[in-house]
Amino acid sequence: MTISVGDKLPDVKMVKATAEGPQQVQSGEFFAGRKVALFSVPGAFTPTCSAKHLPGFVEKADELKAHGVDEIVCTAVNDAFVLGAWNKAGGSDLITMLADGNGEFAEAVGLTMDGSGFGMGKRSQRYSMLVNDGVVEQLNVEAPGDFKVSSAEHMLEQM
């Protein structure tokens, strides 16, 4: 079942990419007590993700924070090393990378996709959500192949 607005995020292990190396976190603890703009991509270094999705959140980070967002988080079914390298290559210190290497978070929120046709296996769908104290306030899931509603611009329009 897909997560919905008003639902609490599931509590699963994820890995935060940090300058000191990977750091395990529990999603329940990570999202507790703050407002988080979360976006998920099918994969680091993929065309739309690198050209539009990540750069859009980097460009709009200050505006999101001006609307009360405490942290901006990107997640993908990639390992923390890949997400850390992707953030270093085209991201920003304003974006926190939370690796969902085994796809447990994507599966728990019901937002997986099958990328086997591209040699990618099970991945996360492209989406964004605004999470307040672990509860979903906005959820914007893209249709396959689209990039419209999960953008930072769209999230800002909803605020």
Residues serving a catalytic function are 49
Half-sphere exposure of 124 (CA within 13 A, CB side): 30
CA distance 10 to 129: 14
CA distance 91 to 109: 25
In whole angstroms, give the CA distance from residue 122 to residue 115: 6
CA within 13 Å, CB half, 152: 22
CA distance linking residue 117 with residue 132, whole number of Å? 35
Q: Supply φ then ψ for residue 108, to 5 degrees.
A: -65, -30
Q: What are the distances in angstroms from CA 126 to CA 20, 53, 54, 145?
A: 28, 9, 12, 9
